[in-house]
Structure 1
Amino acid sequence: MNNKSLIDSFSDFKYEKNIDKINLMSILEESIRSVLKKKYESSKNYDIIVNLDQGDLEIWRNRIVVKDGSVKNTNREIELSIARKIEPDFEIGEEVTEKVELKSLGRRAILSLKQNLLSKINKHDNTNIYKKFINKIGKVISVEVYHILPRYIIVRDEELNEMILPKQEQIPNDFFKKGDLVKVLVKKVEWKDNKPFAILTRKDSNFLKELFKLEIPEISEGLITIKKVVRIPGDKAKISVESYDDKIDPIGACVGIKGSRIHPIVKELRNENIDIINYTSNNELYITRSLSPAKISMIEMNEEKKLANVYLKVEEISKAIGKHGQNIKLASQITGYKIYVFKDFHFEDDVELTEFSDEIDPIILEKFRKLGLNTAKSILNYKKNSLIKATNIEEKIITKIVTILQKEFEK
């Protein structure tokens, strides 16, 4: 192999690996110096000139002229008589520069150079891929299913980089065919056999969070904040949201007209049931909302131990617990409270708030309903100060309503 042949073959990598010219030249020079050092123990006395645009490669060796018979290092020194065959006017102590052809290094050195080049190019390429993967951690990307194996699926991105979606990171009822396009979250990056692999997930709670950001402009624009997401992948999820603009209904914005925004997310998650909760710092109200669709009669809170005893009518208990206990489990996770459910015998003779529509303003009744307070006793057992704070109703009005409700039971 001559110098030009090496440059021609090396230039192909510029297109195959998408390496910039400066890095290409640096890799080539580094590889040549590595071969020279291996053959001559040093490459410091060599000048290497690479010009990829013109397809040129020049290697020049510099040696000091010494008197005949006193050469100690043939790589760094040259006898006067040999130097004068190159230029007749050379003198002792002067520097002789000679052009070196690759073929003069020998077959083994050239083979080593090829291997070194390939190794460094692959290392450079893998480093770039690794950096790209790292920048995608925590983001949702679309990939194509490339190869299906029992323990994991190999997928490829738009640049044909291979990534791994392990079985344990798939939604239980996920089913894929080769060529399918699927959304995934980049969870982490690992090295295997000196190659970087992005490990993907569809089960992580952040996957649902990022899907909401993609589908709901108000979230991506920061008008609505996602406070917390909890999931039982493929079955049920709860997500609490908050709007800093009173004009924006966070739940309505997330659901969209006739479910236009939430439906694509549910479909992507294999029909996972998603409850959207309006976040509040009022823990009693937050627990009430988190246990929807169950209607709560009363809550006893232990703020210090993060415990909540929830009392419900018999027909509401199954709604609060949910299928296989999923509803109460997710409610506990999203609120941070350990929730216990109890049958409320005390409320069996309760009266629905709708019965008081002739005495209490319907607007006020609607505010109570939004708090999950649908009966007279559910209000009477609610702390007065908490009720004022949660409804933003004046104290004198709350006092009047409590009096009306108490009279009902005095009868």
Structure 2
Amino acid sequence: METVTSFNRLELLQAADAAAREKAIERDVVLMAMEDAIQKAARSRYGLENDIHAEIDRKTGEIRLERHLQVVEKVENDATDIGLAEAQRRNPDAQIGDVIAEPLPPIDFGRIAAQTAKQVIVQKVREAERERQYNEYKDRIGEIINGQVKRVEYGNVTVDLGRAEAIIRRDELLPRETFRQGDRVRAYIYDVRREPRGPQIFLSRSHPQFMAKLFAQEVPEVYDGIIEIRAVARDPGSRAKIAVLSNDNSIDPVGACVGMRGSRVQAVVNELQGEKIDIIKWSPDPATFIVNALAPAEVAKVVLDEEANSVEVVVPTDQLSLAIGRRGQNVRLASQLTGYDIDILTEEEESERRQKEFRERSQLFIDALDVDETLAQLLVTEGFTKVEELAYLPVEELAEIEGFDGDIANELHERAVEYVDRVNAEMEEKRKALGVTDEVAAMDGLTPAMLVALGEKGVKTLDDLADLAGDELQEIVGEGLSNEDANAIIMAARQHWFGDEQDGGQEGGAEA
């Protein structure tokens, strides 16, 4: 009999070792799962109300069963409590609050108990395996991984990674790309999530960073950090742009990524099903970077508006279709790469627009200052765009303009001031008619024209103004207000809210 028991004990440890190896989890985790299962079976045998603990000796495989009883003054539940006198009979050192362990005879597992135990072990081992998979792959987000296609369902590809399964959703594959069971596949781990059915590992072949990581595998300088990939923009399966920078002046980043006779870039292109790749040099100067990003098109001029994060690019007429690209692909990728909204104009369009602006501004000065066309055009040529600029400019600086003398400068300045005062007076009347309060009008940074614009949008009181966000205020008043100024005005408008709270708090304190 002893021989049979020893064999069973040995068999138990061998089963635990085999399960741990197969599932790539700790042996102790499997043995703890077995202890839980034995514990559950023992509670079914001795009564569920008992606090029963099972322990498997890690060396011999011997199973020990114990019932735990808590030492109490007054026994309320015989199954879990023991009186102090009874406890001290068993252990003279027992005190109230201690736990007495009472050995139980080993149980003979029936068919149902064995089945239950098996289910508990399988469940616990599965949970441990899922936890191991999650911990293993959560730190590998951002890596490229190789796997084998296990199945394809509704276009979604399930990939066997060896010790886990992953999924490439249909929208993360390259267009017109098909896989069959057994195919080898390379993809980028972009997310690992804990879910009730186990960890979900999401792969992508269309992610911009997949291309960046492929270059790191093909170009040793990228892997070593000598060349940095600063930005990637992709139209998966069709075309991509990648911006590179060299930290070593002696190494050409574009040439290194292209490789001898294009060997390095060709390896990436082949992996991406023939996706054309433009490798461009990154530049800290936005204008230069935008010109590079629009390659292969040639650019004549760049007009950058950093505040609005937009740029106007002027190209020769014969370069327009190349700059825009098929279905706007070239300019769209350049915009993604640089982070700027790019508007492309031909030289003729830009010239026409410049002339139109010149005519409009000249007419503005003719109407507002009652001057002839020559004088108005001279002001526009000197860079003046608004009458207010003339009104606020010192007369001495105005007199320094070539073709102006002191008398002309004085007269222009006076007319500009009169015009601004007249417009402001009209705006003030309009502001009052719209019901915009004096408190709003007293806010620093808001011009009379801005106050009228606020009134027309129903923003009439300090509370109305305080309810706005900075970008909403900018949208209402139009140009002439930076994001920083807009936020400062709104915070100033909100001060009366905090003031009311403080006053209320002080009054409450006085009453108390």
TM-score, normalised with respect to structure 2: 0.58
1:175 is matched with 178
Offset of residue 235 of structure 1:
0.9
2:272 is matched with 269
Secondary structure of 2:176's counterpart equals coil
1:29 is matched with 35
The 5-angstrom pairing of residues 385-404 of structure 1 reads none
The 5-angstrom pairing of residues 89-128 of structure 1 reads 93=90, 98=103, 100-103=105-108, 106-128=110-132
Q: 59, 63, 73: which is aligned to 1:58?
A: 63
> Separation in 2 of the partners of 1:251 and 1:185?
24
Q: 1:188 to 1:134 in 2, by over 3 A?
A: same
Equivalent residues of 2:148, 2:160 under 8 A apart? yes
1:308 is matched with 311
Offset of residue 117 of structure 1:
1.2
- Cα offsets for 1:209-241 (capped at 9, x unmatched): 111111111111111111111111111111111
- Cα offsets for 1:314-372 (capped at 9, x unmatched): 21111101111100011111112221222213999xxxxxxxxxxxxxxxxxxxxxxxx
Higher helix share: 2
Q: 1:313 to 1:110 in 2, by over 3 A?
A: same
> Separation in 2 of the partners of 1:120 and 1:134?
21
Higher strand share: 1
- Cα offsets for 1:178-221 (capped at 9, x unmatched): 22111101121235552222111111111111111111111111
Q: 12, 15, 23: which is aligned to 1:17?
A: 23
Equivalent residues of 2:42, 2:52 under 8 A apart? no
Q: 1:25 to 1:347 in 2, by over 3 A?
A: closer
The 5-angstrom pairing of residues 6-405 of structure 1 reads 6-37=12-43, 39-41=46-48, 46=53, 48-51=55-58, 54=60, 56-61=61-66, 73=78, 93=90, 98=103, 100-103=105-108, 106-159=110-163, 161-191=164-194, 194-345=197-348
Aligned AA (1:31): A
> Separation in 2 of the partners of 1:304 and 1:195?
47
> Separation in 1 of the partners of 2:148 and 2:255?
33
Offset of residue 108 of structure 1:
3.8
Aligned AA (2:263): S
> Separation in 1 of the partners of 2:81 and 2:53?
10
Offset of residue 20 of structure 1:
2.5
- Cα offsets for 1:133-188 (capped at 9, x unmatched): 212211111111121222311111133x2211111110112121222111101121
Aligned AA (2:318): E
Offset of residue 47 of structure 1:
6.0
User: Which of structures 1 and 2 has the bigger CA Rg?
Assistant: 2
- Cα offsets for 1:62-104 (capped at 9, x unmatched): 689xxxxx99736888xxxxxxxxxxxxx9546996563231x
Aligned AA (1:110): A
Secondary structure of 1:116's counterpart equals helix
Equivalent residues of 1:29, 1:50 under 8 A apart? no
Offset of residue 116 of structure 1:
1.2
Equivalent residues of 1:7, 1:57 under 8 A apart? no
> Separation in 2 of the partners of 1:35 and 1:8?
21
Secondary structure of 2:78's counterpart equals coil
> Separation in 1 of the partners of 2:178 and 2:200?
22
Q: 1:109 to 1:305 in 2, by over 3 A?
A: same
Q: Equivalent pairs: percent with the same residue?
A: 28
Equivalent residues of 2:33, 2:120 under 8 A apart? no
> Separation in 2 of the partners of 1:71 and 1:230?
71
Q: Which gives a bigger RCO, structure 1 or 2 (Cα 8 Å, sep 6+)?
A: 1
Secondary structure of 2:35's counterpart equals helix
Equivalent residues of 2:146, 2:161 under 8 A apart? yes
Q: 1:302 to 1:107 in 2, by over 3 A?
A: same
> Separation in 1 of the partners of 2:12 and 2:81?
26
Secondary structure of 2:62's counterpart equals strand
> Separation in 1 of the partners of 2:319 and 2:76?
100
- Cα offsets for 1:46-68 (capped at 9, x unmatched): 562323x54x222243689xxxx
Secondary structure of 1:261's counterpart equals helix
Secondary structure of 2:199's counterpart equals strand
Deviates more, 1:189-198 or 1:319-328: 189-198
Deviates more, 1:236-245 or 1:336-345: 336-345
Aligned AA (2:123): S
> Separation in 2 of the partners of 1:138 and 1:219?
15
Aligned AA (2:122): L
Q: Aligned pair count?
A: 326
Offset of residue 31 of structure 1:
3.4
> Separation in 2 of the partners of 1:240 and 1:342?
24
Aligned AA (2:29): N
In structure 1, runs of 5+ residues without a counterpart are 65-69, 78-90, 349-411
